[in-house]
Amino acid sequence: MKNSTKFLSFNCAEVDYLPESNLCKSSNFGIKKEANCMPNVLSRTKMWKVFLLFFLFSASLQTFSQNLLSNNGFDSGTTGWSASPAGSIFTFSGQYAYSGNTLALNNNDSWGNYYTWQTISATAGIKYDISFMASTHNPVYYASVGYEFYNSLGLIIGSRVEKRVTGSVYNSSGYSKYEFLGVTAPTGTAKIRVVGYTNGTALKLDNVSVSLTSTCSNLTSGGTIGSNQTGCSGFDPTPFTSVTDPSGGAGALEVIWMKSTTSSVLNTTTQSQWSIIPGATSLTYDAGPITQTTYFTRCSRRAGCTAYVGEANVITATVNANCQGKDPVCLSRKSSVSSSSLCGDATKSYGLWFSDLKSSANVACPSQYFTVKSGELTEFCDGTAILKVVGCVTGGGASDCITATVNYSGRTGTPPAGSPLTNTHCSGYAPNVGNWYYYPTSNGTFSGTGIFAGLAGTYTQNMAAFQVGTGGSLNDISKFGASSWFKINLTSGGTNNWTTASKDGDININLGTATNIASVTATANPTSICKGSNVVLTATLDAASKSANCSPTYSWVGSNGFTSTQATVTNTSVQAATTYTVTVTFTAKNGSKCSVTGTTAVALSANCCDNVTNGGQIGGNQRNCGAFDPAVFTNVTSPSGGSGVIEYMWLKSTTASTFTQANASEWVAIVNSNSATLDLTNISQTTYFQRCSRRAGCTDFVGETNVVSVIIDPLPTAPTTTPASICGTGTVTLKATCATGTTATWYSASTGGTSISSGASFTTPSLSATTT
């Protein structure tokens, strides 16, 4: 391809586009086309295909850096541009113009120095790309394009850098692109100026550009995506996942997704068969329903890079060609029931039809047609269904109705023997029976009210299976409906003794939009925990929808990174408040996947209990005769285990020396005994003590110490003494008589004093005065 360049330089989307001199003009991007926009290097169709692709996705692709100049294509005349001498520039279009409006400087080919320029802010150290589309009248004379840098005082830094313009608008050399790429603004730069100069010939300018030079540290791996899926036309693939993320390089990640319905390979040969998916810029992608086999891939790059070099694998969403009419029921669902109109005749609107109901009680059946008063078709994912229809006879009273309740099973997309049956009486009735499905097995009952009170019978399927689909009512071709034929076997004729000779009947109904009835309840036990505790998660499918019979698969995801594929699972050692979501997925026989979700939350308790595991020890035992102030009970070892502040409570008992559940009522809590030690002021009877402990946030004082005792012995009976006397200096022997079991102790004073002996008698030291 002559002079072609690449729209995207990577295999993910190597889409050819025309070189800038041939592109059709877009004011959004400053890209121009030839005047006739009829390039000969690409077909018109391909050129516009590529151009539109660029237009639609330029925001995400960012192939071209933003042009910092204003009015760079001169669509607003000379606005934003200066000239010297004044008035020496103007814009023109048509012949000799590059595209649209083009700027002319010194169009009269006069001698002298002619300049045009635009000045914009710039930053020292930053790299810029500068370009011009330019031509002259006569390149023999000097014309140039270039740039200059200025400081904040308006003084030029260095000198102008320029390139001579060598083409002429009057011959084949025409316009050329003059570029200065990766120009670094020098120290002190405040402004950059682009300049056109000529002397002796005209200078023609267009598409002047100043942009930041792209810096790119691109990916080294595009990662992988998943996964291949299969279904029938219209199936909704589960979202494509990022199995491994793109990696390598530096900078923000930018992503696009591409698809093709014709090629499973993406390369330079097949690139034109692939298209970018608008808005698909995440690592994952939800394609939505598809009607034909489609191939998908993910492409990625780092911010600042042009090429999407990160190319993932190609995955396939396959639409089976031969699965029309297969079981479409994925989630159990309900549909309302209404009457259908025979061949579109609203006067013959009915849902039930009975061939020849007759009464022997001289009560006429007003009509064979019964209009639907109410009804519902419930279809379950396990292939069964229940239809309940209340039909009231046309021309009868509001309560003259028969209720049909039918159980169906064996749902299939393959027509059973004798099916489908279609309506041969209505002109133009030609439904697409390839999309129908069937219930070949059924049983049911009938009951009546009003003139049909007491009527009862059983339902037996006749001829064809119960058939469901667009036009399935056999009456309204454009509406989704159902029909079947049956025999009514009356077991009771009711009050009016109804009979039927043929027993024939029909069901011809339209069905409303199906509403899914399946649901899953996610529960957590407990819902409030201490940090590090376990949580049991349970996903319970509702019983009414029979979803548990449909091979569900489970996927738990927690905000703490937890995942599981079990219906019931334990998340151990939970460290933070967490929300859990369970997705239960079912797969219909046509390959369609559907799912229901449930959520549950687990909170960390504000009063969390992480209790002690050991109550420690206290000391110590004490004993005294009579009431006394015992020493402080000490903390020998502190409680341990658990976490949080320790809370204390002391117990006492005057009857039990150990603490058990059996004698718990004999122990009482000591008021304000909330420390590791205990100091009591006076004890007058034997008492036993125990310290209990717990962690803050806990209810139970599970930490129990040993029991300590304070024994109070009774005071003994006072002894009787026998005094003695001597004359002069000498010793005497004193005697005391004590109560049984007691021993006399002799003191040096009548109160207090020091113990000097014990026993029934005491011989004093030598005395010279009366002594007590």
Separation CA 373–CA 459 (nearest Å): 20
Separation CA 442–CA 437 (nearest Å): 15
What is the enclosing helix (H) or strand (E) of 52? helix 44-61
Separation CA 465–CA 454 (nearest Å): 29
Q: Which residue's structure tokens are 């003259």?
A: 400
Sign, CA torsion 65/67/72/76: positive
pLDDT at residue 472 greater than cutoff 80: yes
Q: Which of 639, 617, 643, 638 shows the shortest CA–CA distance to 698?
A: 643
Give the pLDDT confidence of 6-32 residue by residue, as tens digits. Answer: 333 334 533 332 222 222 222 233 333
Separation CA 228–CA 340 (nearest Å): 42
Q: How far is CA 233 from CA 322, 396, 470, 587, in A?
A: 10, 45, 16, 14
Average confidence (pLDDT) over 439-462: 96
- Supply the pTM of this predicted model: 0.46
**Which residues face 405 on adjacent strands?**
388, 445
Residue 10 is predicted with a pLDDT of 37
What is the enclosing helix (H) or strand (E) of 50? helix 44-61
Separation CA 562–CA 556 (nearest Å): 7
pLDDT at residue 285 greater than cutoff 70: yes
**More confident of the two residues 478 and 492:** 492
Average confidence (pLDDT) over 78-83: 96
Average confidence (pLDDT) over 679-707: 93
CB-neighbour burial class of residue 531 (10 A; exposed 0-12, middle 13-18, buried 19+): middle
375: three-class secondary structure by DSSP: strand
Give the pLDDT confidence of 244-272 residue by residue, as tens digits. Answer: 999 998 888 999 999 999 999 998 889 99
Whether the CB-CB separation of 613 and 640 falls below 8 Å is answered with yes
**Mind giving me the DSSP string for 306-370?**
SS--EE---EEEEEPTT-TTS----S-EEEEEEEEEGGG-GGGEESEEES-EEETTS-----SEE
Q: Which residues contact 184 (CB under 8 A, 6 or more apart)?
A: 125, 126, 127, 128
Give the pLDDT confidence of 516-538 residue by residue, as tens digits. Answer: 899 999 999 999 888 888 999 99
Overall residue count recorded for the chain in this entry? 772
Q: Give Cα 347 distance to the centre of its chain.
A: 52
Q: What are phi and psi of 481, to 5 degrees?
A: -155, -170
Residue 601 is predicted with a pLDDT of 95
**More confident of the two residues 242 and 36:** 242
Q: Are strands 528-529 and 593-604 parallel, antiparallel or unpaired?
A: parallel
Average confidence (pLDDT) over 735-751: 83
Q: Which two tokens stand for residue 506?
A: 């029909």
Separation CA 145–CA 538 (nearest Å): 74
pLDDT at residue 553 greater than cutoff 80: yes
451: three-class secondary structure by DSSP: helix
Whether the CB-CB separation of 249 and 225 falls below 8 Å is answered with no
pLDDT-based confidence at residue 328 (cuts at 50, 70, 90):
confident
Exposure letters 394-414 (e unless 16+ CB within 10 A, then b): bebeeebbbbbebebeebbbe
Give the pLDDT confidence of 84-122 residue by residue, as tens digits. Answer: 999 999 999 999 999 999 999 999 999 999 999 999 999
Q: What are phi and psi of 430, to 5 degrees?
A: -145, 75
Give the pLDDT confidence of 368-391 residue by residue, as tens digits. Answer: 999 999 999 999 988 999 999 999
pLDDT-based confidence at residue 234 (cuts at 50, 70, 90):
low
